[in-house]
């Protein structure tokens, strides 16, 4: 009951923040919140890998992630709905230049940081982990910015739909797993996850997608599409949850942090959204 109470309070705080930034605050406030989420999640990620013995420069890594997220914000506001399409205009050319040079410059900066170290121990693992962390956290979470600016004010409802469908899978996995869980899903990665909970998560996402379908124009009168999308988002979200569990298992930590009592850290809260946000964005653009 104490754990349930902690989960309830933490969830209430997060829900309040989501609603405020989506519907009551200006778009720049939403961008700041997402950037803050990226910074916290990167801090947790690079703190975890230190437990694994991988040497990374945490302030530099977080700074690069914040810069990347700000570039995504800038570009998504100028050209909502597209990532690689041509963008005419002088001001937009500057944005394209800033975007196109980010990853090459990032690689160079990481190498320059390695040059200042007194030894070459774990150099390759440090560079690889840094680039993976930036892509895994900042790269995937940045799709929440692209989704938000789609169709202007309607983008807030798109983000809310994604969060509801993704997080209902977590609720379904918890409830069904507690009540009916008998068969362990992947004990070497997450011993508490069950096959029954996994199936319950996917079905709960499908049900949530149908109920929340009026938020998405493409789904408002297409229940079969809503069910299919819900099943897919539920499945991919659970894969994202397992992916973070695999990282935590390798780093020998239970949670990414204790930021949210009962829920874990920021990365624990966002793990499934990291995988579902790009998928949902692809559905909105190409579906």
pLDDT 10s digits, 145-167: 989 988 656 889 999 999 999 99
**pLDDT of 41 above 60:** yes
- Digit-coded pLDDT (tens) for 264-287: 899 999 999 999 999 999 999 887
Tokens representing 94 are 């500057």
Q: Which residues pair with 194 in a beta bridge?
A: 184
Q: Where along the chain do its domains lie?
A: 2-286
- Distances in whole angstroms, Cα of residue 248 to Cα of each of 158, 187, 259: 30, 14, 16
Q: Is the whole-model pTM more than 0.75?
A: yes
**pLDDT of 91 above 60:** no
**pLDDT of 212 above 70:** yes
113 Cα distance to chain centroid: 27
Q: What is the mean pLDDT of residues 23-34?
A: 91
Share of residues in the chain with pLDDT > 90 (%): 50
Q: What is the pLDDT of residue 58?
A: 92
The chain-wide mean pLDDT, for the chain, equals 87
Q: What is the pLDDT of residue 50?
A: 87
- Digit-coded pLDDT (tens) for 61-73: 999 999 999 988 8
The answer to whether residues 174 and 272 touch, using CB atoms and an 8 Å cutoff, is no
Using the structure block, give the residue that is written with the tokens 């050209």.
Answer: 79
**pLDDT of 201 above 70:** yes
**pLDDT of 226 above 80:** yes
């Amino acid at each position: 009951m104490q754990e349930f109470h902690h989960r309830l309070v933490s969830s209430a705080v997060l829900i309040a923040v989501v609603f405020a930034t989506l519907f009551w605050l200006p778009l720049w406030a939403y961008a700041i919140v997402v950037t803050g989420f990226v910074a916290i999640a990167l801090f947790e990620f690079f703190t975890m890998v230190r437990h694994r013995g991988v040497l990374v420069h945490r302030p530099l890594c977080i700074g690069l992630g914040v810069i990347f997220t700000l570039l995504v914000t800038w570009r998504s506001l100028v050209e909502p709905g597209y990532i690689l399409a041509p963008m005419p205009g002088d001001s937009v050319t500057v944005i394209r230049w800033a975007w196109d040079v980010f990853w090459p410059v990032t690689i160079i900066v990481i190498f320059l940081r390695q040059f200042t170290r007194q030894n070459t121990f774990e150099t390759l693992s440090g560079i690889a982990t840094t680039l993976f962390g930036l892509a895994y956290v900042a790269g995937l979470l940045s799709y929440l910015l692209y989704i938000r600016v789609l169709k202007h004010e309607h983008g807030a409802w798109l983000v809310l739909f994604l969060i509801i469908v993704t997080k209902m899978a977590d609720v379904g996995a918890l409830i069904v797993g507690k009540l009916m869980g008998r068969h362990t899903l992947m004990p070497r990665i997450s011993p508490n996850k069950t096959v029954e909970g996994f199936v319950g998560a996917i079905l709960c996402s499908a049900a949530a997608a149908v109920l929340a379908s009026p938020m998405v124009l493409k789904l408002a009168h297409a229940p079969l599409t809503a069910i299919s999308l819900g099943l897919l988002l539920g499945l991919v979200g659970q894969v994202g949850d397992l992916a973070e569990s695999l990282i935590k298992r390798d780093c020998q930590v239970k949670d990414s942090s204790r930021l949210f009592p009962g829920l874990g850290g920021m990365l624990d809260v966002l793990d499934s959204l990291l995988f579902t946000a790009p998928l949902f964005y692809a559905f909105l653009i190409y579906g």
